[in-house]
Amino acid sequence: MHALRDILEQAQKNGVAVGHFNVADLVMLKAVFAAAQELSVPVMVGVSEGEREFMGVPQIAALVKSLRGEADFPIFLNADHTHSLEKAVEAANAGFDAIVFDLSALPLDQNVRQTKEAVEVLKAINPNILVEGEIGDIGTGSEIHDDAPDLSRGLTAPAEAKQFVQSTRVDILAPAVGNMHGMLKSMVRGEVKKRLDIARITEIKQATRALMTLHGGSGTNDEDFRKAIAAGIDIVHINTELRVAWRRGLEDGLNKHPNEVAPYKILPFAVESVKQVARSRLKLFNSATTRVSAIPI
């Protein structure tokens, strides 16, 4: 079985990215796993602090471990957007493969100091755990927003990124490169797409040589995804698109079976709906550039 670091380094070499999908329940987890299995590509599932609270930290760790072990399949678990060392340690102790230690809301010097400390503490618990640090402003919340936030002043500067990676020794960097958490209503309708600052991604990659994650992937222009991956993005996070699909699938199941009360007869509609989105995103991320084909597993 591959370690997550090997999978990511292989992705980097192949010019593809590993899809990362947030899950909040068994419906979403089943859907993401089925999509990755169908395409035979590695996948990461993430749980934010809120998603973790709902699912339970040891419980989600046990579920992912069971899926990985049963089929010997490269599915990995990430503690997404973790804002305190206490919660990061809880996830590391539960056996998570990666932690996004997100202090991007703090001034840079405090972010550097506390992220460096977190890397040391987490690696002492598990030397193989991957720690991701974040600088810049990509907004908050995988939700449907009424207005677009002005994130232009929070874009990541390549020199700052280099200093951050060197000082903290994070394994992965999450930069702000035009990406934004959540979707606008116009994005849900498919009328507007997020656009990325590809030149900035290239410069940050050159400056840091670090593995890089693109957060806020929902609603992004497909061609920008391809270019971003070719420029050095190794992981892409998708959440809101799955949440929208989950809700639509659930409504569909309820509408089709107005008198049904057995969850296992209604919820497959939601699984299928989420799976379709995860599948199409995984397909795109794993054929992003013409450099090499998808990661063999």
Residues that bind Zn ion (CB under 5 A): 215, 237
Kindly identify the residues of this chain, within the stretch 263-292, that bind ligand G3H according to CB under 6 A: none
CB of 242 to ligand G3H, least distance (A): 8
Stretch that binds ligand G3H, among 3-11, 33-41, 152-160, 234-242 (CB under 6 A): 234-242
The answer to whether 27 touches 35, Cβ cutoff 8 Å, is no
CB of 257 to ligand G3H, least distance (A): 29
Estimate the crossing angle of helix 57-71 against helix 26-39, to 10 degrees: 30
Residue 52 touches ligand G3H, criterion: CB under 6 A: no
Report what 218 binds from Zn ion, ligand G3H, none; CB cut-off 5-8 Å by kind.
ligand G3H
Among 19, 178, 217, 253, binds ligand G3H (CB under 6 A): 217
136/179 Cα distance (integer angstroms):
10
Among 15, 19, 178, 182, binds ligand G3H (CB under 6 A): 182
The answer to whether 19 touches 40, Cβ cutoff 8 Å, is no
The two tokens of residue 45 are: 């599932």
Residue 78 touches ligand G3H, criterion: CB under 6 A: no
Report what 142 binds from ligand G3H, Zn ion, none; CB cut-off 5-8 Å by kind.
ligand G3H
Element (H, E) at 97: none
Is the Cβ of residue 215 or residue 227 nearer to Zn ion in the bound state? 215
Return the C-alpha torsion angle 257, 33, 293, 276, nearest 10. Answer: 10
How many CB atoms lie under 10 A from the CB of residue 173? 25
Q: Which residues, 6+ apart, have CB-to-CB distance to 156 below 8 Å?
A: 135, 136, 175, 176, 177, 200, 204
CB of 196 to Zn ion, least distance (A): 14
Tokens 């397909």 sit on residue: 283
Residue 239 touches ligand G3H, criterion: CB under 6 A: yes
Residue 156 touches ligand G3H, criterion: CB under 6 A: no
Q: Which residues, 6+ apart, have CB-to-CB distance to 199 below 8 Å?
A: none
CB of 93 to ligand G3H, least distance (A): 22
Is the Cβ of residue 201 or residue 266 nearer to ligand G3H in the bound state? 201
Is the Cβ of residue 210 or residue 245 nearer to ligand G3H in the bound state? 245
How many CB atoms lie under 10 A from the CB of residue 108? 16
Rounded to 5°, angle at Cα 177 from 172 and 178: 140
Report what 227 binds from Zn ion, ligand G3H, none; CB cut-off 5-8 Å by kind.
none
Stretch that binds ligand G3H, among 34-42, 112-120, 161-169, 237-245 (CB under 6 A): 237-245
Is the Cβ of residue 235 or residue 266 nearer to ligand G3H in the bound state? 235
Q: Which residues, 6+ apart, have CB-to-CB distance to 79 below 8 Å?
A: 46, 47, 52, 87, 88, 91, 92, 96, 98, 99, 100
Can you give the binding site for ligand G3H, defined by CB under 6 A? Answer: 22, 46, 80-81, 142, 181-182, 215-218, 237-240
